[in-house]
Structure formats: structure tokens, C-alpha cells
Amino acid sequence: MTDWTSHTARARDWFEHLRDAICAEFESIEREAGSDAAFAYTPWKRQAVDGEAGETGGGTRGLMKGAVFEKVGVNVSTVAGGLAKDFAASVNGASAERNGFSATGISLVAHMANPHVPAVHMNTRFLTTTRAWFGGGADLNPPLPYDEDTAEFHAALRAACDAHGADYYDRFKAWADEYFYIPHRKVHRGVGGIFYDHLECADEAAWEAHFAFTRAVGEAFLAVFPRLVRRRMGLAFTPRDRASQLEWRGRYAEFNLVYDRGTAFGLKTGGNIDAILMSLPPEATWS
């Protein structure tokens, strides 16, 4: 079996680099709005699962609340150990008998103060069990959608996909449309993006190819989302706009608590509760 330790370290270094670049850009946007808001970083350690000895790995939760970003979290974690035996069978390449895993990744969710600015989610990760694979994606979640913003966001992701696989965009867009859906509401969470998982690394060449694609997704997100924020953050909005935003956020919370696989994975693997649930909006309403 391949030892993926050095590959995990390389992926972790990239995710930390991407976090730093994103946080610097978001803080720059706050300065443009006349705000001195900055990210606060809280380190955490993974807790033992099913009687494991000690702690293995952890992460850093970055959180900012400002004039433009009402609440934005950017988390990087690198953890390893054993999956809970009743959960292991649901993870690619794991079982109750072979439940060892490692994972490193970045996860970002931004909830915006102005309802005209879209909320957004982005996550990329590298995991190993008896197999090794990359997963991730990004999706746009506007309370008040603009066709121009949706098209620009998808165009950036399409360009990242097209450079690495002729069918990637169509496949991963369709996967996002299927995944980011709230069955009990019969609505999508937002206007989509891409979602991919289990890009398996059968050998070194596959690992390099999938790692390059994963970096491209992160770079595309960093290039396009700040443009959308700057385009909309100064627009006037009404109490009705804010009410629509808060109701939409309720749908977002429902998806993340009921259906999101990343939330379940974090809770089942000894992750930090605050980091896992940072995706929840600061305010929401239900009618």
C-alpha cells in the first residue's frame, strides 16, 4: 500500500497557502468598505474516537465578522486516526475492520451583510483510507440572484475544469445540481457550481493530476468571488431584501444540518464542533 504521508503534507501546505491568500483578499475588501475587521484564528486538536489513544492532528478555524462579510469562516484541518466503526462503511475504502484514515482540506463559507452579495461555499480535500482521493468544489448561494454573477462564477469554474478534463465541468456541475438540493423543500440550495469526489489516486501520475485540478479550483474561486463581492457590496437594499435573505439562510441551514456529508464526516471523526458548524449563518428566519 502506498504511503501517502508526504502527499498529505504537500496538500496541507497548499490548503494553508490558499487560506492565507483568501483571508488577505477578504480583509482587503473590508478595508475598502472602511472596516478594520480581521480574521481571528483558533487552533484546535482532534478528539479521540471510539476509545482511540490520544489526539491525532487538528486544524485552525479562521473567523471574521465585518461590514461586508457578516460571517465568514475559513478552516484548514489535517487529521488522522480511526473512523467510528458504525460510520466507516460509508467512507470510500474504509470498513469496520479497516477504519484508519487521514484527511486534509480547506473549507470556506461566507455569509454576506448585503443581500445583493451572494453567499458562497468552497471546499477541497485529500483523503486516504485503503484508497486515496481528492474531492471538493464550490457553489454560489445568492439570496437575490443576478444572472451576470451566476454566469461569471460558472465560467471561472468551467475554465478550471476544461484545463484538466474535457468532461469535468458537465459532470461536476451536474453532480453539484444533484447534491446541493433540499428534497423536503424541493429547491436547490443556490445557483450551483461544481462538486466532485473520489478522484482516486491509483499512482503518482494520477495524484499529481488530481492535485493540479484541485489547486485550479481554489485559484478559480479566489479569482472570481471577490469580483462579485465588490460588484454588489455597495448596493442599497430594503427591509424586504433582508427578510428574503434571512429566510433563504434558513434553507441553507437546513441543508447543512440534514444533508451535508462534510458536516457528518466532521462530527463523526472527532472534529472541532465550532469549525464544523461555522457554515451556519449568524441569523436566519423560518416563516
Residue appearing with cell numbers 471574521: 64
Which residues are CB-contacts of 146 (< 8 A; sequence separation ≥ 6)? 116, 232
Cα 229-230-235 angle, rounded to 5 deg: 90
Q: Is 121 known to be catalytic?
A: yes
Which residue among 7, 111, 116, 121 is the active-site one?
A: 121
Q: Give 132's strand partners.
A: 128
Q: DSSP class of residue 164?
A: T
> Between the CA of residue 266 and those of 47, 54, 77, what are the distances in Å?
11, 18, 10
The Cα–Cα gap between 239 and 187 comes to 24
130 and 98 Cβ atoms separated by less than 8 Å: yes
CB 189 within 8 A of CB 182: yes
Q: Which residue has the cell 461566507?
A: 110
Which residues are known catalytic residues? 121
